[in-house]
Amino acid sequence: MMKDEKLKNGKLQFITHYTERYSYLDAAHMALEGGCRWVQLRMKDTSMEDIEPVALEMQSLCRQYGATFIIDDHVELAGKLHADGVHLGKKDMPIADTRRILGKEYIIGGTANTLEDVLQHYEAGADYIGCGPFRYTTTKKNLSPILGLEGYTAIIRRMQEADIHLPVVAIGGITIADIPAVMQAGVSGIALSGTVLHADNPTKEMRRIISLMENGE
């Protein structure tokens, strides 16, 4: 799969996070089984030694499903395993440095909370923006100011005015009920974590979400 095709999977992104109910691999498997084709492995406060074996298995799982596999934060590991790409938070390695290390074939995403963040990432060569948080979320420490629908609408409008064409993926506390309005704000896609994992049946919930995004129902 070429980079452009891998990026097309990014309309609906699943981000792993720790729960007592499911392992990281079980969570990814349920999301993939539900039809999601983009998984980001996010294991905060965990050593590289503990992340690597999980990443290897998750990458293999993603390849079975033809899904894009992104590693959060760990640039060297993404390069070592030949993952599809890496997602960088505000305090992670700068995007320009990451691009020099990984080269142009890797997908590089960056977290943004303001138009200034977006411009910075765009100029540094990011492939997509994870923009948020939409609302308060317990899956992230040190939360940036909450954007809400107005925040997304303003950022997208100003990007269009500046002729910046970069996928913007909404993230942060989004529930299934929010999806139609968030998509109408002009974003390219949505990233989910807790809303899927806290459902009674995460695989069925993922199917419901995909149906909503594709058919509006």
Give residue limits of the domains in the chain. Answer: 15-215
Determine contact, residues 176/210, Cβ cutoff 8 Å.
no
Please give the CATH number for the structural domain made up of 15-215: 3.20.20.70
**Residue 161: is its pLDDT beyond 90?**
yes
What is the rounded average pLDDT of the residues 177-192?
A: 97
Q: How far apart are CA 192 and CA 12, in angstroms?
A: 8
Q: In the prediction, which pLDDT does 178 show? A: 97
Rg (the chain; Cα; Å): 16
Q: How far is CA 4 from the centre of its chain?
A: 16
* Mean pLDDT for all residues in the chain: 96
**Residue 189: is its pLDDT beyond 90?**
yes
What is the rounded average pLDDT of the residues 29-50?
A: 97
3-state DSSP assignment of residue 58: helix
Predicted TM-score (pTM) of this structure:
0.96
The H-or-E segment that residue 170 falls in is: strand 168-170
